[in-house]
Amino acid sequence: MENTPQAKVPVFIWVVIVAILAAMYGYAAYWDPTRPEQTVKNFYHAYFNQDYDTVASDLSVVWAVRLLPQYADTNYSELLANRGEIEKELRQVFSEVGSTYNAPKDISLEIMKPYTKEGTNSAMVVCKFKVKSEEAGMDFVILIKEQGRFRIYNTTTVDEQSLPEIEAIDINELDANFAELLTASE
């Protein structure tokens, strides 16, 4: 009688499975552009490197109204419908202004994770800027979910004394306010 060997799963299959799981985790944890922290990182890195396509795509259409007064009386749903044109006009404005701005070459950004809060329609992120490893300021960023991804709704310069107030913000309340804005535009 012949002894037939038992069927086994080849080792390389296990290696492939582990590699796929690691890649999925890495994508979700560090690269996923729908995460609010990633949006903030992308925005500031693009701004410092004068990549105004990314800058424009990471901004909310509501934020854009500040630079584009021709949209001041436009309702939110119309702003969303005109997103492509608004991004094009934002790129133009940033290109004109950016030609006179030079970010420090050694500026870096650090996300202050304890202050990140994410809701269904909104999020908030605090980030710290450093130049040559010395602190150069902090921003508090509020994001709104537009067309399936977080976009920057507002940025405010803050200091260390503001952090307890930021920590006390109820993301559910902010989320409810943004839900009203989003449903009012439908």
pLDDT tens-digit profile, the chain (186 residues):
567 667 676 776 667 777 777 766 665 555 555 588 898 899 888 888 888 888 888 988 888 888 888 877 777 778 888 888 888 888 888 887 766 667 667 888 888 888 888 888 889 999 898 888 777 788 899 888 887 889 888 888 888 888 888 888 888 888 887 777 666 554
Provide the pLDDT for residue 108: 82
Among the listed residues 156, 151, 183, the one whose alpha carbon sits nearest the alpha carbon of residue 62: 151
pTM of the predicted model over 0.95: no
Q: What pLDDT, on a 0 to 100 scale, did the predictor assign at position 27?
A: 57
Q: What is the pLDDT of residue 80?
A: 80
**CA 181, 52, 119: angle at the middle one, nearest 5?**
30
pLDDT of amino acid 182: 64
Q: What is the CATH number of domain 37-184?
A: 3.10.450
Per-residue CA distances from 149 to 36, 55, 143, 165 (Å)? 8, 14, 9, 26
DSSP per-residue letters across 97-159: HHTT----TTEEEEE-GGG-EE-SSEEEEEEEEEETTEEEEEEEEEEEEETTEEEEEEEEEE-
| pLDDT given at position 172 | 84
